[in-house]
Structure 1
Amino acid sequence: MVALQIRDVPEPLRDQLVALARQRGQSLQAFLFDLVRDEARRQDNIAVLKQFSPAAMDVAFTARDVVVALDAERAERDSALAEPEIRE
């Protein structure tokens, strides 16, 4: 593992971080490690989401188009479910 060091942290900020760590029942080191890990995870999530963005997938429809299509399909389904089947 690698050790990271942050220099020139103002004491009031350090004190605030210590208080937040205590609220979570963590040491300052564990608290800061969680913050750094979570930030790295968020960046990974953003990268994945960008891969599936409409621009990346060359999609020609909008979110509104999806809503309209879903509403139409639901209306058709509801209509079919409401009509009794007639058998002779």
Structure 2
Amino acid sequence: MVALQIRDVPEELRDRLAAIAEERGQSLQAYLFDLVRDEVRRRDNLAVLERFSRSTYGTRLSEGDVADSLRAARAERDAELGVPGGDQ
């Protein structure tokens, strides 16, 4: 494993980060490690979503088709449950 160092962090920022870490029951190091790891995971997830959006596989339904299907299914469910307006 490697060590990372961040220089020139204002004391107020360091104190706030330490307070957040303490609220979470973590050391400052553990909290900062979690932040860095989560940021990398988000970036990885965005890259996967971007690949899917450019792909030719998956659904051929339009957004409108999906929205219409959801509306119809919700209306059917609401009608079965007797929710007012569920039979629209």
Instruction: Normalising by structure 2, report the TM-score.
Output: 0.69
- Share of identical aligned residues, percent? 63
Which residue identity lines up with residue 3 of structure 1 in the other structure?
Answer: A
Comparing 10-19 and 57-66, the one that deviates more: 57-66
Provide the aligned C-alpha RMSD in A: 2.3
Report which structure shows greater RCO (CA 8 Å, sep ≥6): 2
User: 2:39 maps to which residue?
Assistant: 39
Separation in 2, partners of 1:21, 1:68: 45
Which residue identity lines up with residue 55 of structure 2 in the other structure?
Answer: M
Instruction: Normalising by structure 1, report the TM-score.
Output: 0.69
Separation in 2, partners of 1:28, 1:69: 48
Q: Which structure 2 segments of 5+ residues have no match?
A: 77-88
Separation in 2, partners of 1:9, 1:33: 16
Quote the offset at 1:34 in angstroms: 0.3
Q: Which structure 1 segments of 5+ residues have no match?
A: 76-88
Paired residue total: 72
Quote the offset at 1:31 in angstroms: 0.3
Does 1:29 find its partner at 2:29? yes
User: 2:18 maps to which residue?
Assistant: 18
Partner SS for 1:2: coil
